[in-house]
Amino acid sequence: MPIPVDEIREPAGSAEQTSPRPETEPNRIPAKKARQGGIGRPVLVVLVVALLLAALAWWGAEIYGNSIESPDTIDAPAGSTAPSAPSAG
């Protein structure tokens, strides 16, 4: 013969230690709504634009660096630091 539910008792002190459980199941959130972000296209756009801006800045620095080079630094041999003396002739 089964024991009636009214006669089942919890052990002493167990009701104070455990948190009360809700009678109904908690609300379920769909997986699409629980995600942190959307599809991720705005992040991809930011990364691509940042890469293009970095390439543009690099190109500008290269152009500027080539334009300020003096002819002395372009034509000088690698081992020579002082101008050579003119030959007598």
* pLDDT at residue 18 in the model: 56
At residue 27, the pLDDT reads 84
Asked if the structure places residue 55 within a domain, the reply is: yes
pTM to 2 decimal places: 0.40
Question: Does residue 18 lie within any of the structural domains?
Answer: no
User: What pLDDT score was predicted for residue 31?
Assistant: 78
What SS3 class is residue 79? coil
Measured CA to CA, the distance from residue 76 to residue 70 in angstroms comes to: 10
Answer whether residue 51 is part of any domain. yes
Range of the domain at 46: 39-65
* 76 assigned to some structural domain: no
Q: Which residues contact 43 (CB under 8 A, 6 or more apart)?
A: 37
pLDDT means per 10 residues in the chain (89 residues)?
61 55 73 71 90 98 88 62 64
58 is a domain residue: yes
Q: Domain count of the chain? A: 1
